[in-house]
Amino acid sequence: MPDLQQRWITDTLDLKPDVMSILIGVNDFWHTLTHGYTGTVQDYEQQYTALLDDTRRALPRVQVIVLEPFVLRTGAVDARWFPEFDQRRAAAARVASHARATFVPLQSIFDQRIRTAPPAYWAADGVHPTPAGHAVIAEHWRRAAHL
């Protein structure tokens, strides 16, 4: 979240979008496991809320779509991710509600998809979507954006 906050004005607000979507939280948590990042679930929720509050003030008419951070139990994703990662997912849902944003529940969407193909088909390392995973996200994003 801190990296995104630093770029938010130039990368987002200055562009004055009509629709914006955000998917953040996976790398923040992953970096607590591998890069010494110390951000907590509470930090994530507070920073995310502040970011979207600032966005609503700057762009009151923007349609905001919050995509739930998700992981699949394959590759880099193991038992160390849980339950804290689930807490970040819940925080993203609360942030979306607070910001009056459309929430896309990607974790449950992919949990359904892994019934038809293995997790690595959707995200080889458990984190970064494959082309098939991106297609699923795009399909649900289009629905959320009413496009």
What is the arithmetic mean of pLDDT over 33-57?
91
What whole-number distance in Å separates Cα of residue 33 and Cα of residue 10? Answer: 30
What is the arithmetic mean of pLDDT over 13-22?
96
What Cα–Cα distance (Å) separates residue 47 from each residue in 25, 113, 137? 11, 31, 24
What does the block give as tokens for 89? 């997912």
Number of Cβ within a 10 Å radius of residue 73: 13
Per DSSP (E only), the strands in the chain are: 19-22, 63-67, 102-104
Using pLDDT thresholds of 50, 70 and 90, give the confidence band for residue 22: very high
What whole-number distance in Å separates Cα of residue 37 and Cα of residue 31? Answer: 5
At the top level of CATH, which class does the domain 2-145 belong to?
A: alpha beta
What whole-number distance in Å separates Cα of residue 88 and Cα of residue 94? Answer: 10
Q: What is the pLDDT of residues 53-106, one digit of tens each?
A: 999 999 999 999 999 999 999 999 999 989 989 999 999 999 999 999 999 999
Q: What is the pLDDT of residues 81-95, one digit of tens each?
A: 899 899 999 999 999
Please confirm whether the linkage preceding 69 is cis (ω < 30° from 0).
no
